[in-house]
Chains A and B, each alone.
Chain A
Amino acid sequence: MLYTKNGSIPKPETDGTEGWLEVPMPPEAPEGKEVVWLNWEWVVRDPKPVDRDGYRWKWNHDQMQWIEYALPQTIVSELPTDPLPALTSADVVALTSEQIGAL
């Protein structure tokens, strides 16, 4: 017998706290299949297909199948470079209008 608490992956022992529930042993995985614990049940399924760049396979539990989705890839912090002249502390006292415009 195995035990789960709040949906955790079933283990043969508990830690003695409240909330552990008995669950059945996992079934044997047929050739080429895998057995995983998902949504409070053992699921026999095909292994996840290999992701292509820009796509990700996701398990749809309601349909019991893998579905491939296109994913956005966002670089968070690639910053632009200021094409304008740098301003040093020595420069910033009494600038001309032209210099200020270049800031």
Chain B
Amino acid sequence: MGLLSTFGAASGRAFGLTRLSAAIKDAYFNLTTLLLPGNGTNGAQNNTFLDSSTNNFTITRNGNTTQGTFSPFSQTGWSNYFDASSYLNVGTTRFLDASAWTVEMWVNTTSTANSVTLAAQYVAGGGGFAQRTVLGINNSSGTVYIFQGGTAQSGTTNVADGRWHHIAFVLSAGTVKAYVDGINEATFSSFGSPTAVTTTFFYDSANSSSYFLGYASNLRVTNTAVYTANFTVPTSPLTAITGTQLLTCQSNRFIDNSTNNYAITVNGTPSVQAFSPFAPTAAYSAATNGGSGYSDGTGDYLTIATNANLTLGSSDFTIELWWYPTAFNSDGEIFTMGSNAGTNRCYAMYSSGSNGTLAAFAGTGGSSWDIVSNLSMGTAIRNAWNHMAFTRSGTTFSTYLNGVRIATTTASGTLGSNALGVFANNSGTSAAPASYIGGARTIKGTALYTGTTYTIPTAPFTAVTNTNLLLNFTNAGITDATAKNDLETVGNAQISTTQSKWGGSSMYFDGTGDYLFQSGNSPQNALGTGDFTIEYWIYFSALSGSTASVILDYRPSSTAGAYPTMYINTSFKLVYEANSGTRITSSTSISTGTWYHVAFVRASGSTKMYLNGTNEGATYTDSTNYLGSSGRPIIAADGYTLGSQAMNGYIDDLRITKGYARYTANFTAPTAAFPVQ
């Protein structure tokens, strides 16, 4: 990397900005879980959806459907998040039987309340401890360990600190060595063949409380000893080197990128997350990285009015979209012209039941699916991107899931014409479960996929020839530069050029019901037990002596406890509240009409407030395990009583860093916008 200089604080720790020859980069961008630069068109919200085909159809938003930068093509790389009941396995494959192997991955651990398993083999039928083999993380010390046959060896580094760590276990000549961030920390001699029945990852089937809790990225298993001495940790995603048996936790879905191409069995509810150990190779770009629309499954949907140019008629066609369901709680129509139960059945992509069973339908517009009925499209995986396609080539109709043809049938007929519904049917009923759509396209006149397999798109859809509808969901005004979150602009929350700290605009909230609401699936918004930095620039148009002005609130509705809240109190002081109590209060009174840089930082169990780079108020001894909650944090209003105590003013460059304290002493407030990569 062409490092030329580092931007830092006047005193204390540098805040992680490094200048490269072409762009300023943040060395801790991979720990940044939300970054709102507040740049965009004056008045822009996240509520208007565009058709990027030449038809430029008007799209009507119903409910709180929103859009943002979370997409199948994240610039940040990928990990899998494991909660308290999730793990992966690959059939009955026994990866640890070989005479040499390497199991490596990056982990970002959210808790080691239990000793957790990264990989395990055991004897079928509870065959005893002698053959049980576990590679894991110890519950009390947070160190890695190797266990077999009643003996264990542990490392020394606490990896449960909310940051990314590379962990490698290497078997060579009967000895297993554990490496943490490239340093050998434990050695287990006389390691025996496990003679087991299967390998599980992130859970030991023989120990019901051993689930891994956190993020894992780039899990690679090779049948060679990749490392024989201390090494420099890779700085980019792992590849399938010689001997690679498994390569996963590095894609927008649960797949094995080794040549074995094993089918990954997903157990519980792990999720694919745009959160990885690596620095992005470029900043987010709508054209390169795309976006997504989000519906919470209750009243959120889009419609496009009946139009002759929208119908597919008797032509060849392609209907395709990326779908990331976060729940399977009902039958629902994902993308439907007409409705599944109505008298206007034209076409539909449908998810049914509690397991994501998919099917496609086509009809002439009457009360039955009289062309194609219930053509299987496979089973979608929850919390992962699924590429779905439904095509017609002549009289052959085919369905595809993730590049593989699932079913084909022969039929004839002219598809009917009606209004189109996205996330539900065109009357808003039979809604799809809570989910993201990361791009949708219909093509009238071309069957884009006709074989048994195809290469799944690796970039956002474009208006190829005959495209008659193109939804890329990239018209959000307030966007997350880390591509992790889609935000809902509630009320009149908008981009404004009236005030700006950087970039010519900021986010404006008028104090009457305006705020930002997090959508969907972002477990990284739980700050956990580690270090963190929450910072932003703020400018108040008005402050009240009778009502607080809430800036950021993690509390769920009517719930206090392990959730931070930041606000200006009725004495105009900046306040940090947590665990149902006021913990830090500024000495400075906040005024209207002035930009302030605000930072709240937890470093090694002490949380401090910085105002314009100067520490103010008490230091809060803070061992809180900060929790996450759906829709949180609320930005610019109260979360406990949703939308109340809304602030009247502007926020610019809001950044949340999880796992790193960017400031540990007084510092010079940032003199430029935060880097976006």
C-alpha gap A10/B115 in the complex (Å): 56
C-alpha gap A77/B626 in the complex (Å): 9
C-alpha gap A100/B143 in the complex (Å): 17
User: Does any Cβ of A come within 8 Å of B523's Cβ?
Assistant: yes
B81 to chain A: closest CB distance in Å? 10
Interface size on B, residues (CB 8 A): 72
Render A1-40 as a binary contact track against B, CB cut-off 8 A, 1 for contact. Answer: 0001111111101010000000000000000000010111
- Inter-chain contact B152/A76, CB cutoff 8 Å: no
Contacts A6-B44, A56-B298 known; A74 to B475 CB distance under 8 Å? no
- Inter-chain contact A97/B150, CB cutoff 8 Å: yes
- Inter-chain contact A100/B132, CB cutoff 8 Å: yes
User: Does any Cβ of A come within 8 Å of B497's Cβ?
Assistant: yes
Contact of A8 among B42, B114, B128, B150 (CB under 8 A): B42
- Inter-chain contact A62/B303, CB cutoff 8 Å: yes
Render A71-93 as a binary contact track against B, CB cut-off 8 A, 1 for contact. Answer: 11111111111111011110011
C-alpha gap A63/B296 in the complex (Å): 19
Contacts A15-B41, A76-B627, A93-B151 known; A40 to B492 CB distance under 8 Å? no
Kindly report which residue of chain A lies nearest to residue B134, judged by CB atoms.
Answer: A103
Contact of A60 among B50, B129, B150, B299 (CB under 8 A): B299
Kindly report which residue of chain A lies nearest to residue B525, judged by CB atoms.
Answer: A76
| Chain A residues positioned under 8 Å from B64 (CB to CB) | 56, 58
- Inter-chain contact A79/B298, CB cutoff 8 Å: no
Contacts A5-B41, A76-B525, A93-B151 known; A62 to B113 CB distance under 8 Å? no
Q: Is the interface of B mostly helix, strand, loop or mixed?
A: loop
Which of B54-62, B89-97, B571-579 lies at the interface with chain A?
Answer: B54-62
| Chain B residues positioned under 8 Å from A100 (CB to CB) | 129, 132, 147, 150
Kindly report which residue of chain A lies nearest to residue B557, judged by CB atoms.
Answer: A53
- Inter-chain contact A6/B48, CB cutoff 8 Å: yes
Which of B10-18, B205-213, B340-348, B378-386 lies at the interface with chain A?
Answer: B205-213
C-alpha gap A9/B150 in the complex (Å): 67
Contact of A75 among B110, B513, B629 (CB under 8 A): B629
User: Does any Cβ of B come within 8 Å of A51's Cβ?
Assistant: yes
Kindly report which residue of chain A lies nearest to residue B419, judged by CB atoms.
Answer: A62
C-alpha gap A59/B296 in the complex (Å): 14
C-alpha gap A100/B149 in the complex (Å): 9
- Inter-chain contact A82/B628, CB cutoff 8 Å: no
Kindly report which residue of chain B lies nearest to residue A79, judged by CB atoms.
Answer: B111
Interface size class of chain A, counting residues whose CB lies under 8 Å from the partner chain = 35 or more
Kindly report which residue of chain A lies nearest to residue B296, judged by CB atoms.
Answer: A71
- Inter-chain contact B61/A95, CB cutoff 8 Å: no
Kindly report which residue of chain B lies nearest to residue A74, judged by CB atoms.
Answer: B630
C-alpha gap A4/B45 in the complex (Å): 11
The A-B contact count (CB < 8 A) is 173
Kindly report which residue of chain B lies nearest to residue A72, judged by CB atoms.
Answer: B630
| Chain B residues positioned under 8 Å from A39 (CB to CB) | 48, 58-61
Contact of B145 among A13, A70, A92 (CB under 8 A): A92
| Chain A residues positioned under 8 Å from B648 (CB to CB) | none
Kindly report which residue of chain B lies nearest to residue A78, judged by CB atoms.
Answer: B627
Render B411-441 as a binary contact track against A, CB cut-off 8 A, 1 for contact. Answer: 0000000000000000110000000000000
Contact of A92 among B153, B156, B210 (CB under 8 A): B153
Render B502-526 as a binary contact track against A, CB cut-off 8 A, 1 for contact. Answer: 0000000000010000000001011
Contact of B115 among A9, A58, A59, A82 (CB under 8 A): A82
User: Does any Cβ of A come within 8 Å of B528's Cβ?
Assistant: yes
- Inter-chain contact A92/B154, CB cutoff 8 Å: yes
| Chain B residues positioned under 8 Å from A61 (CB to CB) | 60-62
User: Does any Cβ of A come within 8 Å of B43's Cβ?
Assistant: yes
User: Does any Cβ of A come within 8 Å of B104's Cβ?
Assistant: no
C-alpha gap A59/B629 in the complex (Å): 24
Contacts A80-B114, A94-B151, A97-B150 known; A69 to B299 CB distance under 8 Å? yes
- Inter-chain contact A62/B428, CB cutoff 8 Å: yes
| Chain B residues positioned under 8 Å from A82 (CB to CB) | 113-115, 139, 209
User: Does any Cβ of A come within 8 Å of B477's Cβ?
Assistant: yes
User: Does any Cβ of A come within 8 Å of B276's Cβ?
Assistant: no
A44 to chain B: closest CB distance in Å? 16
C-alpha gap A7/B44 in the complex (Å): 7
Interface residues of A in 42-65 (CB under 8 A from B): 48, 51, 53-54, 56, 58-63
- Among B48, B296, B427, B558, the one with the most A-chain Cβ atoms within 10 Å of its Cβ is B48
Contact of B152 among A5, A86, A93 (CB under 8 A): A93
A82 to chain B: closest CB distance in Å? 4
Contacts A53-B558, A67-B299 known; A38 to B115 CB distance under 8 Å? no
Given contacts A62-B60, A62-B428, A88-B138, list 10 more A-B pairs with CB under 8 A: A8-B45, A10-B43, A11-B43, A13-B42, A54-B557, A62-B303, A67-B299, A73-B630, A76-B630, A93-B151
A–B Cβ pairs within 8 angstroms, 9 of them: A8-B494, A9-B43, A9-B44, A39-B60, A69-B63, A76-B526, A77-B83, A77-B110, A84-B114
Seen from chain A, the residues whose Cβ lies within 8 Å of a Cβ on chain B are 4-11, 13, 15, 36, 38-40, 48, 51, 53-54, 56, 58-63, 67, 69-84, 86-89, 92-97, 100-101, 103
Shortest beta-carbon contacts, A-B, top 5: A7-B48, A9-B43, A92-B152, A76-B628, A8-B43
